[in-house]
Amino acid sequence: MKKTTQFLLLTVALLFSSTIFAQSKITGTVIDADLNAPLPGANVIEKGTTNGVSTDFDGNFTLTAQATSGQIVVSYVGYGKVTLSFNGDTNLGKITISPDNSLEEVVITGTGVIDLAEDRKTPVAVSTIKANEIRERAGNWDLPEVLKSTPSVQNIKGGGFGDGQMFLRGFDQTNTAFMLNGQPINSPEDGRMFWSNWSGVLDVANAVQVQRGLGSSKLAISSVGGTVNIVTKTVDRREGGFVQQMVGNDNYTKSTAYYSTGLMESGWAFSAMLGHWQGEGYVNDTDGQGQTYFLSLGYKPNENNLFNFLITGAPQWHAAAGSGRISDFLENGRKYNSWNFSGVNSPNLLQSGRYPGGRNIYHKPVANISWDLTLGENSSLSTILYGSIGRGAFAATQFSGGIPSYARGSNNNHNWYGVVSNFNTELNSNLSLNFGADVRLYNGIHFRSANEFLSVDSVNAFSIYNGGDYMLTKTFGGINPWNLTFNPNDEHDQRFGYDYEEDINYYGVFGQLEYSNDQFSAFFQGSASTQTHVRTEYLNAAVEGVSEESEKVNNPGFNLKAGASYTINVNNKVFANVGYYSRQPFHSDLFISDRNGNELIMPEVENQKITGLEAGYQLGGEKISANLNLYYTIWDNRTLLSDNGEDQGSSAFRLFQTQGVKQVHSGVELEVFARPTDNLRVNGFLAIGDWKFDGNGTQRTFDESGTISDPDTEVDLDGVKVGGAAQFTAGAFASYEFLPRFSVDGTWNLYNNLYSQGQATADSPPIELPSYDTVDLGASYKWLLGENDQNALQFRVNINNIFDEVYLESVSGNTAASSIASENYKGVNVSNNGRFGYGRTWNVSLRYSF
């Protein structure tokens, strides 16, 4: 009996041990093909069993298989399944999966320079919009309209094509860094963004990522609101392309064609896109027209090197529309154009659609060369060399005796070159280091000239300082941006009004050290930079015909960031980040006036001081995921500039500078992504902010020579709300696939706690505007064609503001509500200047992909 028992125990032990030894350990990382970034929450199942795991926040998984060999299936809702074989303990490395309806698999070049949040283990507050969603929802809009369904983002459309403005956590575009494939594209002079220069970028965008607040950017960038990374196509993995035709409201039409050879056996790849658009504009007399082009030439000689040359541009012209009194809009309708004055005495000019109020005419070709070099298994070097030349003007009709005589161009040209390089190395399995350099050289050229003679053949000009009349006998550009590109005005004696240049050179270094293990990560980032400014005066120089340089202004600055995260389990992670910036003032903050020589504002403006604190929680999973973010941003020593206008009759010029201004922006953001079924996707967000000024500012008044003309005065700003963007926003997006490849989607956005812009104080606070909400609808159908369904014909329709909501989009001024009800609109005095938002708009597109 004893021997029998021993035999049975030995048999059970052998069976148990054989089961253990039959197991295999499978590891790998699941990668999203669209962004070449880790995909959390993906399912990894041992085929034929219910044994499986989900990937963690970094896309990693470890699966203990029940057999010594077999297959695993990797899946994620909305993505194609991937089946892989294993034999014993196996590391499958990177496993790339693509969206089901994606025909574009793209290699991202310049990976070490393009700062995507997924490149760092420690998270930030971030939202990512991928190529498919951009293509379907962009329609005939600019990027800010696409981003409005992310937390703390608001888009103000403006009057004409490309005149929109984006706010991020209450900060305008001048305080948000915009990057195109690692290249900064904000104006170095004042931080502004001109979306009309980038009208074609969404046609070739692979993804757009909004990093709110501190962000993950390693570059020597000190943005206050956040960073927006635009990643375009470069080297496609396979041959293909598309042609697309779009039509929309107000006679809008757009034609686009794209083709790529894919990465050929020779290692070469070529991509090209051409497009043309035109339309009359939603606002009266805001017609526009332009082209878009994109060329990319890639070469991959071996596994360690990838080169790419890219050039893109969007030459365009469009008529502008100014804001006006609210009463004028109520009388004339939402499409009212307060700048429609050029046709008063010349209806033929207005009907020809040339200068009704003014035309923006610009062409800004951008080129870059990138090199990704792999240095062994653990190190890499990415470098991007870029350059752009901008040529264009704002052309407005000038009158003589009530008759249009010529179009005056206010030219804003530039030459901009730079290089960004980043070295990355894995010091060990837990520690990574990267460092690099960021250099930007900018030359801005500003003057006025005659763009087009309308009823004269010359114009009598006048030099303010040098004295004497002289004649403008040549014209440059008209309303054609190509003409302005290849026929710029390089003749100083054919310029008038103002004629000066500015050189802004920026030199920065940066670095990041990050530690990470299975549960914990921490990072430290730092950058240091110096920025120099020189202004050169031509027209108003002391000696006629001799240029005059200002003294060089040199401002150092630095950034410091640190943060940590802790992974509670595979689906839960918390993080916290802190940052401090010493940010150089803009060029426009340094000099007294564009019109009055090289006089510096004295005392000089000091660096702004920005402190950011943020914390977050991330919930991952296949059916539902969520991001919760808290932020607190202090923007101290800010400078506000204003003047009493260019034409004041007998009154002397005055510049008002308010220094020492502090803004405090705090808030909470919640973003939820749900996939209840394979056919239904629901996203939603809620953003609650509290943005206001803190304390007082010191206002100085300068005369035109830059001398303080009046004693300093204290301006009470304490508790004054920051205007421009809604401090409470919410939104939801839902998409349902009724039939295979036929889906309908809708977007709802709510805006509340919105205040007017303009000079306001505690004694004269900004106006609170009425809340509003909008609903957009869309539908798509894709018809598969060709052998193996490789081609597709896709139909898409978008209807924005489908319920034709009437709302005040923005107001400048702070005139309080009148006691007479008829003088108010929803509690806002109608004597204030403002603009109503667009009513119902639509676009329909047909796209053939091959």
In the CATH scheme, what is the homologous superfamily, with its name and number, of domain 232-404+411-502+511-849? Answer: TonB-dependent receptor, beta-barrel domain (2.40.170.20)
The sign of the torsion formed by the CA atoms of 547, 553, 554, 557 equals negative
* Closest by Cα among 573, 558, 576 to 522: 576
Q: Assign domain 2-97 to its CATH superfamily.
A: Immunoglobulins (2.60.40.10)
pLDDT at residue 117 in the model: 67
Q: Helices then strands (H, E): number in the chain?
A: 6, 53
| CB count in 10 Å sphere of residue 470 | 14
Laid out side by side, the sheet with 43-46 consists of 52-54, 43-46, 69-75, 82-87
Q: At 344, which amino acid appears?
A: V
Q: Which residues on adjacent β-strands are paired with residue 617?
A: 574, 628
pLDDT of residue 140: 81
In angstroms, the first-to-last Cα distance of the chain is 77
Which pLDDT score is estimated for 191? 87
pTM of the model: 0.84
Q: Residue 46 burial (CB < 10 Å; 0-12/13-18/19+)?
A: buried
Give the pLDDT confidence score for residue 595 in this predicted structure.
54
Across-strand partners of 279? Answer: 288
Residue 341 CB: number of other CB atoms within 10 A?
A: 17
Whether residue 99 is preceded by a cis peptide bond, meaning omega within 30 degrees of 0, is no
- For residues 516 and 526, what is the distance between their CA atoms, to the nearest angstrom? 18
What DSSP line would sit under 119-159, residue for residue?
Answer: GSSS--SEEEEEHHHHHHHHTT--HHHHHTTSTTEEEE--S
State the pLDDT at residue 463: 59
Q: By the 8 A CB rule, do 153 and 210 touch? A: yes
Ranges of residues in the chain with a pLDDT under 70 are: 1-22, 33-37, 77-79, 99-113, 115-119, 220-222, 237, 340-356, 463-468, 592-597, 641-655, 703-709, 788
CA 346/CA 420 separation, integer angstroms: 51
| CB proximity list for 647: less than 8 A, separation 6 or greater | none
Predicted local distance difference test score (pLDDT) of residue 653:
59
Alpha-carbon gap, residue 257 to 663, rounded angstroms = 46
Residue 724's pLDDT is 92
Domain 106-231 has CATH 2.170.130.10: yes
**What confidence score (pLDDT) does residue 848 get?**
94
Looking up tokens 């470069």 gives 234
Percent of the residues in the chain that have a pLDDT greater than 70, as a whole number: 87
**pLDDT computed for residue 651 by the predictor:** 52
Q: What is residue 2's predicted lDDT score, i.e. its pLDDT?
A: 53
Domain ranges of the chain: 2-97, 106-231, 232-404+411-502+511-849
pLDDT of the residue at 467: 58
How much is the pLDDT for 515?
A: 95
Q: Quick check: helix, strand or coil at residue 418? A: strand
